[in-house]
Amino acid sequence: MREEKTAFIRLAKRTDMDPRKVWMIRVGSIVVALLLGFVPMLLTGTNPIEAYGVIISGSLSRPVYIRQTVRTAIPLLGCALAIAPCFKMRFWNIGAEGQITMGAMAATYFALYWVGKVPSPVLLVIMFLAAAIMGGLWALIPAFFKAKWNTNETLFTLMMNYIAIGIVAWLQGGPWEGRKGSQLIPMFDDAARLPEVLGVNCGWIMVLVLTVLMYFYMNKTKHGYEIAVIGDSVNTARYAGMNVGWIIMRTMFISGAISGVVGFIFVSGANHTLYSGVADGVGFTAITVAWLSQLNSFAMIVISFVLAVLEKGSNTLQTRLSVPASIADIITGILLFCMLSCEFFINYRLIFRRKTKEEVAS
């Protein structure tokens, strides 16, 4: 055996960092991420400063653009709120996409077949409730198996996405098809459309209300506390007498219900019809939003808006400088990498090897 030297860098846990410093590190990591975003642009011969300029101006320079950006941010925020409790519980729900789709499907059913039978506000309320219940039930399926047999929820929820999308694709070309052969579900009647407030569908009010509600739910209620305990340690929760399976199912139902409502906002507020790609990747991007904001409801408002700017701006970037719009995904990915990495410097202290042996021994 050879004598091991003390490692050049050692690590130690720390818990006592100044909160201001913590946020400085986080903001710093976002800046680093944006700078790293220069790399793909430089490699493809685009001026990064100009590109970021186009992203900003393409999403914020005119009221029309701002409205479009807000429209993009609404479902992101709503869905991030849905995902937050699951992730807090360390339940990896990546099935928001499917829960949105199923919620949208339930809302569409009533929009198509109950229109004219009930007054518009009643219809909208029914659609809202149907979407929430359907989204919740869809999320309950993987939660049930997780609670009962500890089935891998990551893959289960993911597979449920494809199943939900497949079902809507079938409805689109089959039973709910409008004109035969069109492969399209007819546009909603005006009675089934969400009214607009300030030029954007009133979904934005709903998600802002939800933000406040979610903040209180997670931080001020017994349910929120139980979720946090399970996230830290399932065994602690069990010893404390919590019914872990029940809490998992309840939380997933709430999460799915919120995603379902996002689906309702999609069909009733934005698209006015249903198609299989209705969720449009929001379920995945929302994971980014939730994690970047450290599962803090109010930070989610900012982050979802930033990502909406990125997404809307990248589309402009594609048309103006012919940089592929997928640059938004790359930058989002880099943002996440940097945020994940910076937690290391918040949680651990690096100790460098000192010069003399005596000092190491002491």
Partner 1 sequence: MSTLIALIVAAVTFGTVLMYGTLGEILTEKSGNLNLGVEGIMYMGGAFGLAGAFYYEKAAGAAASGPVAIVIAILCAIAAGMAASAIYSFITITLRANQNVTGLALSIFGTGIGQFVGEYMRVSEGGYVALGNGLKDAFNATVFPQALINIPVLGRILFSHTVFFYLAIVLAIVMHLFLKRTRWGLYLTAVGESPSTADAAGINVTKYKYLATVIGGGISAIGGMVYIMTTAGCVWNHEGLAGVGWLAVALVIFCMWRPLNAIWGSVIFGAMMIMYLRVLIPFIPTELYKILPYIVTVIVLIITSMRNSRDKQPPASLGLNYFREER
Window 302 to 331, contacts with partner 1 (CB under 8 A): 322, 324, 326-331
Q: Does 336 bind partner 1 (CB under 8 A)?
A: yes
Q: Does 39 bind partner 1 (CB under 8 A)?
A: no
Q: Does 17 bind partner 1 (CB under 8 A)?
A: no
CB of 141 to partner 1, least distance (A): 9
Q: What is the DSSP string of 234-300?
A: HHHHHHTT--HHHHHHHHHHHHHHHHHHHHHIIIIIIISS--TTTTTTHHHHHHHHHHHTTT-HHHH
* Residue among 47, 150, 219, 233 that touches partner 1 (CB under 8 A): 150
* Residue among 13, 20, 117, 355 that touches partner 1 (CB under 8 A): 13
Q: Which is nearer to partner 1, 126 or 252 (CB)?
A: 252
Q: Which is nearer to partner 1, 127 or 339 (CB)?
A: 339
Give the total of residues touching partner 1 (CB under 8 A). 51
Backbone angles phi, psi at 350, to 5 degrees: -90, 130
Distance in angstroms (rounded) separating the CA atoms of residues 174 and 181: 9
Q: Which is nearer to partner 1, 154 or 235 (CB)?
A: 154
Window 187 to 246, contacts with partner 1 (CB under 8 A): none
Distance in angstroms (rounded) separating the CA atoms of residues 101 and 261: 10
Q: Does 92 bind partner 1 (CB under 8 A)?
A: yes
User: C-alpha dihedral over 216, 234, 294, 225, to 10 degrees?
Assistant: 20
CB of 129 to partner 1, least distance (A): 27
CB of 52 to partner 1, least distance (A): 16
CB of 75 to partner 1, least distance (A): 17
* Residue among 188, 217, 291, 305 that touches partner 1 (CB under 8 A): 291
Q: Does 341 bind partner 1 (CB under 8 A)?
A: yes
The 8 Å CB, 24+ separation contacts for 199-203 are 199/63, 199/67, 200/67, 200/70, 200/71, 200/74, 201/71, 201/74, 201/265, 201/268, 201/269, 201/270, 202/269, 203/74, 203/75, 203/78, 203/265, 203/269, 203/270
**101: exposed, middle or buried (Cβ count in 10 Å: 0-12, 13-18, 19+):** buried
Residues that bind partner 1 (CB under 8 A): 11-13, 40, 44, 92, 94, 145, 149-152, 154-156, 158-160, 162-163, 166-167, 169-170, 172-174, 284-285, 287-288, 291, 322, 324, 326-334, 336-337, 340-341, 343-344, 347-348
